């Protein structure tokens, strides 16, 4: 994009943000011209029914179909995939379970047909990383809410494209970061917002998940279109990416919750980062030990562990880690430290905080009994209302259900979605930013400000609840073997 145009757009949007903050929305629209108005705090009119098209029907997409139909006021009206058998499987599942008939489209451009349907409100993209941007932008161009799996995009240019498309079309774009809705992550958010941990100074975020068997397995399709990639002598689409790139290409599971604790884009902003990769050893070792076919000699470029340090505009620091190649237990490395105490979860919950400054109570973590009391006292309002239902519905301990319940609730009530296109862009931008730093001998790299300065005046994240009684919701929750199977494959039961 021409730099003069980018500078002009940034300036125009900044002026629009100021006008919007002053209550002059019409002026904001005029000032922004073609780029549109800022999307902070934007909400659509309430929807009586949320009609969803699910794009991508692998294990994660199929479980989304089965989960979404449990949410009152939410209907699956279309499903799309590269492979016809997957589409037919989900259409038959909907029919067997007494759900309204849905359309099904097959092929790499099937999402475009879904976006053209008049009876679709939401495009729910559960697809490979490299198509997230195209699908989300197509959805917004057709007047649909864009919900996309993580990361929302792979490059800075894609991030800007999604931001500008959302602003111009006036359609929300939200990344489906389920870890922001985990019970412990939302407990921590509540503690932070209640001021229990004081002024937040430092956070640690990560995604540690042994995926050697998964990535060398045949579940993933290849970029050339083969469903079971390694059976055709090709890597799956994610393994293809590993073979070409350094850095952290899956940053948001850990970073999203910590960014919420720190009000990133809402009072603070990412400033710069440094990043480095360890050497690559585990994938090469695993391949040589386990296989005699083409997998044995497959070369992965990315190191086993990527470590990044991020500094924010207010001087906070974040340690961000990523390792899906090492034989070690699962962890999301969820930690935040403030002037009154510290919270840490995964693999276990550890927390402590002062009731009086300097009382030395923080020299050790609370015992299990006191931690349990804190967990119950400060349980997030959403988990108080829907936690038991969510755990029964399934999906990573219920967080998937809570996430979907929340965005559907917001659309049905005319509320802003919990995270917006600027959050998606800032969190996902770490993919390219970390790679830039790694390939420049870990030199500092500046983080783009996708809000164009609006982070200084945008209100922080809030602790909201769901008023089930208001909608007269009654949940029809039925255990689904597909959801359970997906959890087992992820190793998270």
| pLDDT the model gives residue 478 | 73
In which band, very low, low, confident or very high, does the pLDDT at 481 lie, cut at 50, 70 and 90?
A: low
Q: Does residue 11 fall inside a structural domain?
A: no
Q: Does residue 61 fall inside a structural domain?
A: no
* CA-based end-to-end distance of the chain: 45
pLDDT above 50 (res 207): yes
CATH of the domain at 413: 3.30.360.10
Which tokens go with 379? 């349980």
| pLDDT the model gives residue 482 | 66
Q: Does residue 409 fall inside a structural domain?
A: yes
Residue 413 is part of which domain span? 180-456
Using the CB atoms, write b or e for 88-123: b if 16+ within 10 Å: ebbbebbeeeeeeebbbbbeeebbbebbebeebbbb
Q: Does residue 402 fall inside a structural domain?
A: yes
Percentage of the chain exceeding pLDDT 90: 84
What average pLDDT does the segment 99-107 reach? 97
Q: Does residue 484 fall inside a structural domain?
A: no
pLDDT, tens only, 284-314: 999 999 999 999 999 999 999 999 999 999 9
Which tokens go with 459? 């209100």
User: When comparing pLDDT for 25 and 452, which is higher?
Assistant: 452
In which band, very low, low, confident or very high, does the pLDDT at 346 lie, cut at 50, 70 and 90?
A: confident
* Residue 169, CA distances (Å) to 17, 62, 146, 172, 379 in order: 17, 29, 11, 9, 37
Predicted TM-score of the model (pTM): 0.91
Q: Does residue 345 fall inside a structural domain?
A: yes
| pLDDT the model gives residue 483 | 66
Place of tokens 């001021």: 195
SS3 50: strand
Q: Does residue 70 fall inside a structural domain?
A: no
pLDDT above 60 (res 427): yes
pLDDT, tens only, 138-189: 999 999 999 999 999 999 999 999 999 999 999 999 999 999 999 999 999 9
Instruction: Say how many domains are in the chain.
Output: 1
Rounded CA-CA distance 17/273 in Å is 26
Which alpha helices (DSSP H) does 416-467 contain, by range?
421-428, 430-438
What average pLDDT does the segment 69-83 reach? 97
What average pLDDT does the segment 29-41 reach? 64
Rounded CA-CA distance 306/343 in Å is 23
Provide the edge-to-edge strand list for the sheet that holds 306-312.
350-353, 341-345, 334-338, 200-208, 317-323, 306-312, 270-277, 445-446
Rounded CA-CA distance 387/465 in Å is 12
Q: Does residue 68 fall inside a structural domain?
A: no
| Mean pLDDT, the chain, whole residue set | 91
| pLDDT the model gives residue 219 | 83
- Show the 3-state SS of 176-213: CCHHHHCHHHHHHHHHHHCCCCCCEEEEEEEEECCCHH
pLDDT above 50 (res 1): no
């Amino acid at each position: 994009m021409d730099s003069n145009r980018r500078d002009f757009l940034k300036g125009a949007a900044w002026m629009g943000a100021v006008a919007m903050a002053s209550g002059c929305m019409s002026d904001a629209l005029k000032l922004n011209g073609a780029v549109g108005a800022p999307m902070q705090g934007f909400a659509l009119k309430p929807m009586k029914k949320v009609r969803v098209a699910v794009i991508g029907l692998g294990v994660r997409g199929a479980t989304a179909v089965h989960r979404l139909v449990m949410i009152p006021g939410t209907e699956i009206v279309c499903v799309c995939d590269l492979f016809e058998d997957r589409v037919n499987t989900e259409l038959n599942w909907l029919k067997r379970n007494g759900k309204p008939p849905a359309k099904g489209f097959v092929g790499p451009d099937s999402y475009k047909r879904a976006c053209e349907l008049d009876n679709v409100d939401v495009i729910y993209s559960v697809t490979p990383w490299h198509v997230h941007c195209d699908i989300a932008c197509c959805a917004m161009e057709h007047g649909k809410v864009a919900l996309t799996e993580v990361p929302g995009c792979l490059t800075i240019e894609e991030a800007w494209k999604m931001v500008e498309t959302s602003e111009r079309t006036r359609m929300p774009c939200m990344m489906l970061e389920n870890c922001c809705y985990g019970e412990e992550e939302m407990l921590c958010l509540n503690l932070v917002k209640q001021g229990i941990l004081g002024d937040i100074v430092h956070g640690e975020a990560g995604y540690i998940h042994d995926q050697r068997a998964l990535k060398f397995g045949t579940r993933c399709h290849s970029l050339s279109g083969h469903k079971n990639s390694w059976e055709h002598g090709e890597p799956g689409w994610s393994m293809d990416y590993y073979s070409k790139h350094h850095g952290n290409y899956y940053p948001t599971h850990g970073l999203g919750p910590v960014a919420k604790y720190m009000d990133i884009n809402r009072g603070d902003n990412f400033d710069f980062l440094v990043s480095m990769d360890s050497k690559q050893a585990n994938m090469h070792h695993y391949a040589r030990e386990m296989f005699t076919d083409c997998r044995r000699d497959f070369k992965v470029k990315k190191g086993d562990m990527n470590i990044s340090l991020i500094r924010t505009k207010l001087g906070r620091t974040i340690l961000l880690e990523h390792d899906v190649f090492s034989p070690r237990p699962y962890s999301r490395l969820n930690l935040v430290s403030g002037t009154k105490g510290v919270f840490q979860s995964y693999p276990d919950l550890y927390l402590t905080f002062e009731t009086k400054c300097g009382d030395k109570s923080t020299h050790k973590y609370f015992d299990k009994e006191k931690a349990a009391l804190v967990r119950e006292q400060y349980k997030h309002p959403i988990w108080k209302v829907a936690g038991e239902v969510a755990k029964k519905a399934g999906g990573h301990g219920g967080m998937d259900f809570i996430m979907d319940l929340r965005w559907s609730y917001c659309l049905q009530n005319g509320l802003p979605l919990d995270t917006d296109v600027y959050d998606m862009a800032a969190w996902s931008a770490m993919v390219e930013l970390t790679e830039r730093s790694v390939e420049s001998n870990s030199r500092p790299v500046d983080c783009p400000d996708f809000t164009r300065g609006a982070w200084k005046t945008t209100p922080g994240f809030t602790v909201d609840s769901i008023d089930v009684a208001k909608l007269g919701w009654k949940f029809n929750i039925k255990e689904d073997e597909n959801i359970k199977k997906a959890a087992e494959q992820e190793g998270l039961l």
